[in-house]
Amino acid sequence: MKMNVPTPHIDAQIGDIAESILLPGDPLRAKYIADHFLENVKQFNKTRGMLGFTGTYKGKKVSVMGTGMGCPSIGIYSYELIHFYGVKNLIRIGTAGAMQPEVKLRDIVIGMGSCTDSNYMHQYGFPGNYSCIASYELLSKAVHSAKEMGIPYHVGNILCTDLFYKPDTYNKGVTWSDMGILACEMESAALYANAAYGKANALCILTISDSGFTNEVTTAQERETSFTKMMELALDIV
């Protein structure tokens, strides 16, 4: 495949980005990870303010870059990372809202599957519905590492939605929570689909930032800098 780099969205050359990358939605969270966890850091992207860095973690080369919000945004970045930069392992580290009462604020959720209300999958022209699932290799590593690190976690289905603010008419029938969905976020389905199409590995690791069951909400600064267990878990499996 012809490598047309830099791409319109990533100002990097071949070799600037590691085969394993962490993908927070917030580019400032990417900078926080680079500043606090990585050594020998070099910035490879600042186009559109989407900061990207490559460094080493415990001697292993790893990259981190923001993706923005929603399936279209992470869809663009993950496609370019896989098809133009040869990235093999993509781990989304993001925030989510709890959809089950046992999923508490700041809990870790590992997305085994991703249900979605997005139209992202329509591009493939399937004669049915595609099941967006994580890489078992990364999923099993994450579960093992969480146990070893003593990090409480939940594993299961998550919801990837296009709607942050939902109308009152949204989903008046059986709810996602009724179907056992653990948490809601906005990027995992596109990431899992792009990884499957590009023969790469993908996993979504989330920290619960708000809960409708307890009405608890974390601040923007907390989401950027304090969800370190999720960051450490992701770094441990790259």
State the catalytic residue, choosing from 11, 117, 210, 236: 210
Q: What is the DSSP letter of 70?
A: S
What is the distance of C-alpha 57 from the center of its chain? 19
Three-class DSSP labels, 120-143 = HHHHHCCCCCCCEECCHHHHHHHH
Instruction: Report the first-to-last Cα separation within the chain, whole angstroms.
Output: 25
Instruction: Say whether 210 is catalytic.
Output: yes
Of 49, 56, 50, give the one whose Cα is nearest residue 23: 50
Tokens of 58: 């415990």
Tell me which residues are annotated as active site. 210
